[in-house]
Amino acid sequence: MTSTGAATAPILSVDGLLVRYGAAIALEDVSLEVGRGEMVALIGANGAGKTTLLNTLSGILAPSAGTIRCAGRLAHVPEGRELFFDLCVDDNLRLGAWKAPSRDPARIYELFPKLRDLSRRKAGFLSGGEQQMVAIGRALMAGPDVLAIDELSQGLAPIVVQEIGRYLVRLNAETGLSVLLVEQNARLALELCARAYVLETGRIATHGPSALLRNEPAVRSAYLGGHVTT
Amino acid sequence: MSVLLQYLVTGVSRGFLFALLATGFVIIYRVTKVVNFAQGAFVVLGGFIAYSLLGAGVPQGLSEVLAVLASAAIGLLFGAVTILGKMSTIASLITTIGLALLCEAVAMLVWGTTPLTYSGLSGHDLRFGGIFVQPQYLLLIGVSLVVLAALWLLLDHTYVGKAMTACASNPYAARLTGINVKAMGLLSFAIGGALGGVGGVLIMPLFPITYDSDVNLAILGFAAAIVGSLTSPTLALAGGLIFGIAEELVAGYWSQANETAVALALMILLLLWQSHRRQQVAKLV
Ligand SMILES: Nc1ncnc2c1ncn2[C@@H]1O[C@H](COP(=O)(O)OP(=O)(O)OP(=O)(O)O)[C@@H](O)[C@H]1O
Ligand SMILES: [Mg+2]
């Protein structure tokens, strides 16, 4: 985990973002940065606006105000994985490269050897953990500089989450891939990422190095179940 | 024996027409999840446009190609009306029925109510196991086979085809990977229109078409597409042939008045069988 913080020029910077659904405001004055090669966590309760933020970053939603600057390519692993269930694993991965030059999924199979044996299986017939690997693999096929992951651990056994978490850390260390990790499991997120933002009802409530946030009473009681294990 | 053979030849050629229609249903459904009931209108308009171009002195081959292109353009237009807004799938379905009715009205105004036809491929009839077959039948079968094979390759064996399938499978994820979902939908409607146009220009010399032929054609094409659960182009071809041959045999040995009723009964049986099979699969998983 290389923590360059926001000291060097960030790969992704969001400034004063305002996003609405009709009249309702989902995000207000949201600013955040992800440095090159940095892993940053975004934690927050249900309905805080995390998914809204990622959908805005990937252009699915248009902000009413504010700026998004990305000095590279951003790929998005959506909440609930959202695979192409009618297509096989291999096709799911290849389609991730729709806008990228190389469609060869060999590097993904190297990263997730388990997927190699499943490459011909329809994505709808995979276990949750396998699906999450395909979802991450598909996003990686775009050759991103920043990977935004929504709910990495959703519906997965802790051991599978640990495994995928290790993959991410390895990727980050080996390729310098930047990661913006949205997580319900704050303990995991703060463990994997050096820095974190806390989103509360559409606003950034606090942010800073994970080591500090972990000990902040408000964060502890709201997201870490009141006690800390380091 | 030679009578049966005659029915089979006719049935197979009608079957290819239904297969072209069915494949139109399949490609549009696979990309947009819309069941396009205006599919029969592409056949009628394609055929009529070729008829008018021929009447205006345009050479036959060129007339037919232009009519197919015009059908593709009409398909594109229908696609724009149906999928560019934020319509629900059921609303789009109703819209396609409305478009089909609109086409009938326009076709009646422009071309009238009498059945239209024009002469197809010239040349001597071919002798074939005791019967005579017009060369146009062979043209219809040959061209259909090439077109259907090309579509099967496109949908199931190319990267673009996979991307098209992805659009209906998960439109949100397709957008995240950068696929232009609306453009793919429009493309599928244009291809659906061209498929109908090909059917129209090839069938008109063999079976005269009226402004309201589209309803029957759409129903039989839909029935054929159902054989492949609206998603498989190869099974849609099989379905087309089943319905084409069944229709001719019923018309020939029983009564022409019953041909559509029998085809519809067959379709309902197929639907029942399919939902039964789906329930079996659901029990397994
Ligand atoms: N399409 C939509 N239309 C209207 N409101 C929406 C829409 N999607 C989300 N919202 C609202 O916007 C707010 C933020 O939702 P969002 O999905 O971004 O939350 P989240 O932080 O991802 O929550 P979770 O942890 O449950 O996934 C919620 O109040 C939600 O009800
Ligand atoms: Mg969410």
Concatenated DSSP letters of B149-207: HHHHHHHHHSHHHHHHHHHHH-HHHHHHTT--HHHHHHHHHHHHHHHHHHHHHHHTTTS
The alpha carbon of B70 and the centre of ligand 1 are apart by a number of angstroms equal to 45
Residues in A touching B174 (Cβ below 8 Å): 84, 95
A187: helix, coil or strand? helix
By a Cβ cutoff of 8 Å, what residues of chain A touch chain B?
Answer: 58, 60, 76, 78, 82-87, 91, 94-96, 98-99, 103, 138, 142
For the stretch B179-234, pLDDT in tens is 999 999 999 999 999 999 999 999 999 999 999 999 999 999 999 999 888 999 99
Which of A174, A167, A212, A215 is CA-nearest to residue A192? A167
Chain B residue with CA closest to A123: the answer is B169
CA distance B10 to B3: 11
- The residue among B159, B177, B179, B284 with the most chain A CBs within 10 A of its CB, best to mutate, is B177
Predicted confidence at residue A7, as pLDDT, reads 54
CA distance B239 to B242: 5
Tokens of B20: 């072209």
Q: Tell me the fold of B2-284.
A: ABC transporter involved in vitamin B12 uptake, BtuC (1.10.3470)
ipTM: 0.91
Predicted confidence at residue A32, as pLDDT, reads 96
Q: Are A29 and A16 in contact (CB under 8 A)?
A: yes
First to last CA, chain B: 49
Tokens of B76: 């594109």
Report which residue type is found at A224: L
Q: Which residues of chain A have pLDDT under 50?
A: 1-6, 228, 230
Percent of chain B with pLDDT over 90: 73
**Which atom of ligand 1 lies nearest, measured to the CA of A55?**
18
Extract long-range pairs of B97-102: CB within 8 Å, 24+ residues apart: B97/B37, B97/B38, B99/B38, B99/B41, B100/B37, B100/B38, B100/B40, B100/B41, B100/B214, B100/B215, B100/B218
Nearest Cβ partner of A86 from B159, B163, B165?
A: B165
CA distance A43 to B196: 53
Cβ contact (<8 Å) for B176 and A78? yes
Predicted confidence at residue A189, as pLDDT, reads 93
Q: Which ligand is nearest to the Cα of residue A47, counting in written order?
A: 1
Predicted confidence at residue B281, as pLDDT, reads 67
Q: Which helix (H) or strand (E) holds A66?
A: strand A65-70
Domains of chain A: 1-72+146-155+178-230 (3.40.50.300)
Chain position carrying tokens 């309803």: B215
Tokens of A206: 């606090």
pLDDT at B87 over 50: yes
Ligand 1, pocket residues at CB < 6 Å: A 21, 24, 26, 44, 46-52, 79, 184
CA distance B187 to B140: 24
Give the confidence band of B284 by pLDDT, cuts at 50, 70, 90. low
Q: Which helix (H) or strand (E) holds A33?
A: strand A24-35
For the stretch A42-73, pLDDT in tens is 999 999 999 999 999 999 999 999 999 999 99
Chain B residue with CA closest to A91: the answer is B162
CA distance B139 to B115: 22
Residue B134 pairs with which residues in a beta bridge? Answer: none
Q: Which residues make Cβ contacts (< 8 Å) with residue A127, sequence separation at least 6? A: none
